[in-house]
Amino acid sequence: MVKYCDLFWSFFKIGTFTLGGGYAMIPLMEQELVDRHRWLSQEDFLDQVALSQSMPGVLAVNMATGVGYRLRGFRGAAVAIVANVMMPIIFIITLAILYQFFKTNPLVEHFFMGVRPAAVALIAAPVFKLAQSAGISWKTVWIPVVSALLIWLLGVNPVYVILVAIALGILWAKIGKR
Amino acid sequence: MIFLQLFWTFLKIGLFTFGGGAAMVALIQNEVTVHHHWLTTQEYTDILAVSQMTPGPIGINTATYTGYTAVLNAGYGHGLAIVGSLLASFAVILLPVLLMICVVRFLQRYRSNHYVNSVFQLLRIVVVGIIAAAALQLATVESFGQPAVSLHFIASIVIFVLVFVLSMRKQSPIWLMLGSGLAGLLLYGLV
């Protein structure tokens, strides 16, 4: 039986020490869960990664939920989730408060003037990486383009775009089956 | 009632995020800057910058910070803003967590389902467009400067292109952000 405190400590480390978001956590998770503690086999781990990527939500939290639940049920999932997000949330709240006091400081303002275009570039870059992994071809390239234009120019809520995609995906599967 | 709206909005964002942190950032951006006007684009871009530089999942970091700022902007104090940040983080993971527990319980049944596969194949394609729209909506005058021959605008374009290219080459976002901030300090502080 996996101890709660071991589970907590593992996910605490994973959440606290990975910079760069959920995808950066995968190697550290593998090291902790598969190599070090042997809580999961390599196959189970990769299965859980694939599942976490295909479910809605944040990848890291989905991983913590799935692994925690497999090991110790509901309580295991709760322990892993809290351990995973605790320090990031404390960091962010601290920075949010500090930012309110220092945002009028010229040094802070200059720093953010430099950082803003970089933040936008970091959102734009995954578009092309994801386009490759999603298997977009010349036949399907209109789908993301139309989605982007609907949201950007016509102000359509992305939630509706996703709902339509789900409906069309089901329809497509039905037609393909015949 | 800002807290109820915040909870409902982030509940929705959590359920409709397919494709990880970048997709969640896109949905949050649309809800909080376009629909609810809780934050300006500039505030949101700053939050994004901080979320990309601090440890933890970017989706959670952005939700936490956005919840905090939205409550503060609504005229409440820091204490209630912290409640807002915790509420947003809780709401954004609630439904995905419950869903994940259900799926792990009945794992084998869903994995190879023909309909589920078809839906996810299409979703992966659509999400690319959703993230592209967020990047377009964030590229505003507040973040880049007036598109005249100003130092701010030219420097912003240069930083954007450099970070874009380096990020495609798998450079760590932390160093890219710190480098851009340092460039800002030197450029706008000294000139």
Closest-approach residue (CA) in chain A for B165: A125
Would the pLDDT of B108 be above 60? Answer: no
Query: What is the Cα Rg of chain B in Å?
Result: 19
Q: pLDDT digits over B5-50, tens only?
A: 999 999 999 999 987 777 888 899 999 999 999 999 988 999 988 8
Token pair 């933890």: residue: B56
How many CB atoms sit inside 10 A of residue B66's CB? 34
Region class of B19: left (phi > 0), else alpha (psi between -120 and 50), else beta? left
Evaluate whether ipTM surpasses 0.90.
Answer: no
Please tell me if residue A52 touches chain B, with a CB cutoff of 8 Å.
yes
Indicate the domain borders of chain A. 4-102, 127-178
Residue in B93, B159, B184 nearest the CB of A111: B184
Q: H helices of A55-141, where?
A: 59-102, 106-133
Would the pLDDT of A177 be above 70? Answer: no
Instruction: Spell out the long-range contacts of A167-171 with Cβ–Cβ below 8 A and sequence spacing 24 or more.
Output: A168/B122, A169/B115, A169/B118, A169/B119, A169/B120, A169/B121, A169/B122, A169/B123, A170/B115, A170/B118, A170/B119
Instruction: Tell me if A144 sits within 8 A of B128, measured CB to CB.
Output: yes
Mean predicted lDDT score pLDDT of chain B: 88
pLDDT band with cut points at 50, 70 and 90 for residue B189: confident
- Written as six digits, the tokens of A29 are 């998770």
Instruction: Tell me if B58 sits within 8 A of A126, measured CB to CB.
Output: no
Q: Which among B54, B128, B136 is the top mutation candidate for probing chain A, defined by the most A β-carbons within 10 Å of its own β-carbon?
A: B128
Q: Are A144 and B49 in contact (CB < 8 Å)? A: no
Would the pLDDT of A87 be above 80? Answer: yes
3-state percent helix, strand, coil for chain B, nearest multiple of 5? 80, 0, 20
Q: Are B180 and A112 in contact (CB < 8 Å)? A: no
Q: Please name the helix (run of DSSP H) or strand (run of DSSP E) that holds residue B21, with its range, or none.
A: helix B21-29
Res B39: pLDDT: 92
Residue in A62, A117, A145 nearest the CB of B129: A145
Q: How many CA atoms lie within 13 A of B156 on its CB side?
A: 23
Identify the CA nearest to B16 among candidates A29, A152, A31, A151.
A151
Compute the average pLDDT of residues B102-123. Answer: 77
Q: CA-CA distance, A35 to A45, in Å (whole number)? A: 11
pLDDT band with cut points at 50, 70 and 90 for residue A79: very high
Res B87: pLDDT: 97
CA angle (A66 as vertex; A60, A67 as ends), nearest 5: 90
Q: pLDDT digits over B153-186, tens only?
A: 989 999 999 999 998 887 777 788 889 999 999 9
Q: CA-CA distance, B51 to A47, in Å (whole number)? A: 28
Q: Are A135 and B124 in contact (CB < 8 Å)? A: yes
Q: Are A17 and B172 in contact (CB < 8 Å)? A: no
Indicate the domain borders of chain B. 2-111
Closest-approach residue (CA) in chain A for B178: A115
- Written as six digits, the tokens of B26 are 């896109």
Mean predicted lDDT score pLDDT of chain A: 88
Please provide the distance, in angstroms rounded to a whole number, between the alpha carbons at the two ends of chain B.
45
Res A178: pLDDT: 58
Q: CA-CA distance, B89 to B59, in Å (whole number)? A: 9
Q: Are A119 and B52 in contact (CB < 8 Å)? A: yes
Res B160: pLDDT: 93
Model pTM?
0.83
